[in-house]
């Protein structure tokens, strides 16, 4: 049999089973929402915040597999782990509702952007982060991936508008 950390979908779900087992057997405890704050701090680059807390995937490895963590190894961090580690089963429900609402907001924004080409381009850019890698990176990691993927495109679009107008009358407009 293969170990739990082999395969794109096996590793994250195996990590989830480990965290459930460790909480049930009092090896670790719920974060009671503190982990949501530490995940938000991951947006701040380490050079600007040297004492920044570890992301949840890093914390999982450093807590439960310190020898592997020290070599840079990871098992994958299942999306449901964030919510479970924070509040148990109600946390999983809360995370999935929040993630569903976020995806609906993104979908409506792109649908109403006025530009089918732009909407398609942004969908192509964020689809891997919000859908495919979310099973392996968690909700905050997926959001960060998607935002950072779109920033250069939106920046280039804004720069293009500045150059086309010669720098005059620059006003924010819809992305369409």
- Amino acid 1: pLDDT: 45
**Residue owning tokens 């982060």:** 129
**pLDDT digits 0-9 by tens, 51-97:** 888 888 888 888 888 898 888 887 777 888 888 989 999 999 999 99
pLDDT digits (tens, 9 = 90+) for 105-139: 888 887 776 677 777 888 888 888 777 777 777 78
| pLDDT per residue as tens digits for the range 14-58 | 788 888 888 888 888 888 988 888 888 888 888 998 888 888 888
């Amino acid at each position: 049999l293969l170990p739990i950390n082999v395969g794109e979908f096996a590793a994250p779900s195996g990590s989830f089973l480990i965290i459930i087992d460790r909480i049930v057997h009092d090896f670790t405890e719920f974060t009671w929402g503190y982990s949501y704050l530490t995940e938000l701090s991951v947006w701040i680059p380490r050079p600007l915040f040297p004492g920044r807390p570890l992301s949840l995937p890093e914390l999982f490895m450093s807590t439960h597999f310190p020898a592997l963590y020290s070599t840079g190894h990871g098992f994958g961090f299942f999306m449901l782990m964030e919510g479970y580690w924070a509040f148990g089963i109600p946390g999983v429900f809360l995370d999935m509702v929040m993630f569903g609402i976020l995806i609906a907001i993104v979908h409506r924004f792109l649908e109403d952007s006025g530009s089918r080409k732009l909407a398609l381009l942004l969908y192509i850019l964020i689809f891997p982060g919000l859908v495919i890698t979310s099973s392996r990176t968690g909700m905050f990691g997926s959001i960060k991936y998607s935002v950072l993927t779109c920033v250069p495109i939106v920046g280039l679009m804004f720069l293009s508008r500045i150059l086309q107008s010669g720098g005059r009358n620059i006003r924010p407009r819809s992305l369409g």
